[in-house]
Amino acid sequence: MTALTESQAPASPLARLAGIVPATLAWLKNLVANILPPLVALTVLLGVWQLLCMGTGASLPAPSKVVTDTWTLIVNPFFDNGGTDKGLFWHLFASLKRVAIGFSLAAVGGILLGVLIGQSSLAYRGLDPIFQVLRTVPPLAWLPISLAAFRNADPSAIFVIFITAVWPIILNTAVGIRQIPQDYRNVARVMRLTGPEYFFKIMLPATVPYMFTGLRIGIGLSWLAIVAAEMLIGGVGIGFFIWDAWNSSLMSEIILALIYVGIVGFMLDRLIGLLAARVSGPRARS
Amino acid sequence: MTAYLSLENVGMEFTRGKDRSVVLKDVGLKIDRGEFISIIGHSGCGKSTVLNVVAGLLRCTTGGVLLENREVDSPGPDRAVVFQNHSLLPWLTVYDNVRLGVDKVFGRTKSREERHEWTLRNLSLVHMDHAVRKYPEEISGGMKQRVGIARALAMEPKVLLMDEPFGALDALTRAHLQDSLMEIQTALGNTVIMITHDVDEAVLLSDRIVMMTNGPAATIGQVLEVPLKRPRRRLELAEDPTYTHCRGEVLRFLYERHRHAEAA
C-alpha cells in the first residue's frame, strides 16, 4: 500500500505534465490547420482589394478607407437618435425580428402542408403542380400584392419572408415523408399504432432530417429576401440602411452593412444546422 | 378438429391496367399450435406473399386465412413479423425498439414496471442484455436480427412470422441465430412460419417443410415432415440418415422437379 503511493506520488505530476504537452501541441496544430488557411485567404483578398481601390480615381473605397469612414458605426452599434437614425445593431435586430416571425410561420405552415402532401397522394396530385409553379415566383414579386392586401409595410415584409421560406420546407418535408421505408410502415401496422402514435413515433423522427434541410434552405432564402424587401418598404432594417446609404453615396457604410448581413446569414444557417444536429442526433442515419 | 392456423385456398392476383398476373393459386395449409413450419421455394415464387397474407399486410384475392377460427383481415401483434432486414427504428435504442411493441400490446394489462421487466426478459432471451442502451447502428447485423426477434417475441404472438430472417447474415452468424431460435422455440413453444431459401436451415429448424412450385400461379408442391427428435444439434445431424434423407428430398424438389426457369 505505502509502496504503491510512494512510487505513484512522484510519477504522477511528471506523467501529467508529459500528457499535457503533446495534447496541447496537437490542439495547437489542429487550430493552426483550421484557422490559418481562411486567414491567409482573407488577407490575400483584402490585399488585392486594397491594391485595386487605392488609386485616387477608384469608384469604390479600399478596405482601409471603409474602416476609417465607418469607425463610429463599428464602435457604436447601439446608438438611437430616433427615426431611422439608429445603430447597426438596431437595424439588424429589426430585420431579424421580421425574419423570425415570417420564418416561424413558414416553418409551421410548411411542415403541416408538407405532411399533408407527403401522406395523401390525392393532396399531392392536387397541390404539387401549384406549389411547383408558385415556388419559382421571385420573393419580391409578392411584395406589391402583399402591400395591396395588408396596406402596411411590416406585415407585407413578413408575408414576403413567409412565402419565400415556405416552399422548400413544404417540399422537403413531403419528400421526407414519402421516403419513409415501407418496412417502418409495416412495423407500425403490425403493432397497430394509432394515427398520432405513428406520427410521433415513426413519421416525425424519420422525417426530421429532411425537414431541417428545408428549414435550412428556407432561413437562407428569408435572409436574402428581407434585405431586398426592406429596401423597398423603408423603416428600420438593414435593407433600408443599405438603401439609405446608397442614396447618400456612403459606399463605406454599404460595404460594412454587407459584411454584417453576410455574418448574420452565416450564423442563422449554422443555428439551424446545430438545431438539426441536436434534434436528429447521429441516429437519423439509418 | 380444426387447425390452429389454416390457409384456405389462398389465391393472389395483381392487376395493373389490363395485365393480370396470378401470383398464388390454391394455397391450402393447416398448422397446429407449436409447430415450426418453413416455406421454401425459388425466389419470386410468392413465398413472401404467403407470409404477408398471413401477417395481414396483404389481402388475398381469393380464399382466406383463419387463426383460431377467426379470419385474418388486417395486421396485428398476434402475428408478429421478423423482417428480413430487421427494420429496427434507427432513432430508438435496442430497448426502446422492443419496448414500443410491449407498450402497445400490454399497455392496459401490465404495469409500467412489468412492461420494463418483460422487455428486458425478451432481450435476454435473444442474448442481447449487454446492448440494451445501444442504437441499431452501433450493433452488428446479427445482433440487429436478434433484437428484431425479441421485438416480435415480446408481443407474445400466436404465430411468429419470419421472412428470411437470416438471409442477409454470414454463415457463422446464421448458425448462431438458428441455435438461439431453436432454444427459444423449445422454451416457449411458439408457432412459427419461416420463409427461407436455405435447405439446411429448413431441415434443421422445421417440423414440416412446405415446398412451393415456381410462379406464376405458384402453389404448394409438396409438404415434407421432418421426423427428427428435438433438441437437434447440427453436428450430430450432419451424418444422421433421416436428416440426409430430408435434405435430399428438398433438394430433389427444388432442383429436379421444379427447377427455376431462368436457372435451367
Q: What is the mean pLDDT of residues A55-84?
A: 86
pLDDT at B262 over 60: no
The amino acid sitting at B78 is D
- Min Cα distance A121 → chain B (Å) is 18
Q: pLDDT tens-digit profile of B132-177?
A: 999 999 999 999 999 999 999 999 999 999 999 998 888 888 998 9
pLDDT of B59 higher than 70 = yes
Residue A9's pLDDT band, with cuts at 50, 70 and 90, is very low
CA nearest B166: which of B158, B177, B156, B157? Answer: B177
Q: Which of A54-68, B29-43, B133-147, B179-193 has the lowest mean pLDDT?
A: A54-68
Between CA A211 and CA A168 the distance in angstroms is: 9
| Overall residue count recorded for chain B in this entry | 264
Can you give the pLDDT at residue A15?
66
pLDDT greater than 70 at residue B231 = yes
Partner-chain residue, chosen from B56, B57, B89, that has the shortest CB–CB distance to A202: B89
Q: Across residues B250-255, what is the average pLDDT?
A: 91
Residue B121: band (very low, low, confident or very high) from pLDDT cuts 50, 70, 90? very high
- Residue B85, pLDDT above cutoff 50: yes
Q: How far is CA B54 from CA A11, A185, A262, B63, in A?
A: 69, 17, 59, 12
pLDDT tops 90 at residue B259:
no
Burial of A243 (0-12, 13-18, 19+ CB in 10 A): buried
For residue B19, the Cα-to-chain-centroid distance in whole angstroms is: 31
Angle between helices A238-247 and A204-233 (to 10 degrees): 30
Residues of B with a Cβ under 8 Å from any A Cβ are 55-57, 74-77, 79-81, 83, 85, 87, 89-91, 100-101, 104-105, 135, 137, 155
pLDDT mean over B103-120: 94
CA dihedral (A192, A194, A197, A203) in degrees, to 10, reads: 80
Query: pLDDT band for position A80 (50/70/90)?
Result: confident
Residue A203's pLDDT is what?
A: 92
pLDDT surpassing 70 at residue A137 = yes
Which among A184, A205, A281 is the nearest to B87, CB-wise?
A184
Look up residue B18 and give its amino acid.
K
Sign of the dihedral defined by the CA atoms of residues A43, A47, A49, A53, in that order: positive
Q: Note the ipTM here.
A: 0.88
pLDDT of residue A12: 64
Closest Cα of chain B to A109: distance in Å? 25
Q: Which residues of A touch B74 (CB under 8 A)?
A: 189
**What chain B residue is nearest to A284 in terms of C-alpha separation?**
B91
Contact call for B101 and A197, based on CB within 8 A: no
Q: The C-alpha cell of B93 is what?
A: 435504442
Which pLDDT score is estimated for A59? 84
The overall average pLDDT reported for chain B is 90
pLDDT value of position B15:
85
- Digit-coded pLDDT (tens) for A83-132: 788 889 999 999 999 999 999 999 999 999 999 999 999 999 999 999 99
Q: CA–CA separation, A187 vs B249, rounded Å?
A: 36
pLDDT at residue B53 above 50? yes
C-alpha–C-alpha distance, residues B100 and B103, integer Å: 5
What length does chain A have?
286
Q: State which residue of chain B sits closest to A286, comparing Cα positions.
A: B90
CB contact under 8 A, B77 and A197: no
Average pLDDT of the segment spanning B74-78:
93
pLDDT class for A39, splitting at 50, 70, 90?
A: very high
Q: Do B76 and A190 touch (CB under 8 A)?
A: yes
Cα–Cα distance measured from residue B90 to residue A285, given in angstroms and rounded to the nearest whole number:
7
Q: Which three cell numbers stand for residue B83?
A: 423482417
Q: What is the dihedral of CA A62, A64, A66, A67, to 10 degrees?
A: 170
- What integer pLDDT is reported at residue A1 of this predicted model? 43
Lowest mean pLDDT among A70-84, A162-176, A219-233: A70-84
Query: For residue B214, is pLDDT > 90?
Result: no
Q: Name which of A138, A118, A140 is nearest A128 in CA terms.
A: A118
How close B154 gets to chain A, by Cα (Å)? 11
Q: Is the peptide bond before B216 cis (omega within 30 degrees of 0)?
A: yes
Give the residue from B6, B5, B3, B38 showing the smallest Cα distance to B193. Answer: B38
Question: Sorting pLDDT into bands at 50, 70 and 90, what band is B211?
Answer: very high
A-B Cβ pairs (cutoff 8 Å, strict) = 56
Mean pLDDT, chain A, rounded, equals 88
Statement: residue B241 has pLDDT above 70: yes
CA angle, residues B47, B52, B56, in degrees to nearest 5: 155
Minimal Cβ distance to A190: which of B75, B85, B137: B75
Query: How confident is the model over A229-252, as a mean pLDDT?
Result: 91
Residue B120: predicted pLDDT:
95
pLDDT of A7: 45
pLDDT for A281: 60
Choose between A187 and A234: higher pLDDT.
A187
Is the Cα dihedral B118, B123, B127, B132 positive or negative?
negative
Instruction: Check residue A11 and give its pLDDT.
Output: 53
Nearest CA among A145, A207, A206 for reference residue A170 = A207
Which chain A residue has the Cα nearest residue B81? A190
Residue of B nearest to A205 (CA): B91
For the CA atoms of B127, B133, B138, B140, what is the dihedral angle to 10 degrees? 10
Higher-confidence position of B108 and B45: B108
pLDDT band at residue B230 under the 50/70/90 scheme: confident
Residues 6+ apart with CB under 8 A from A7: none
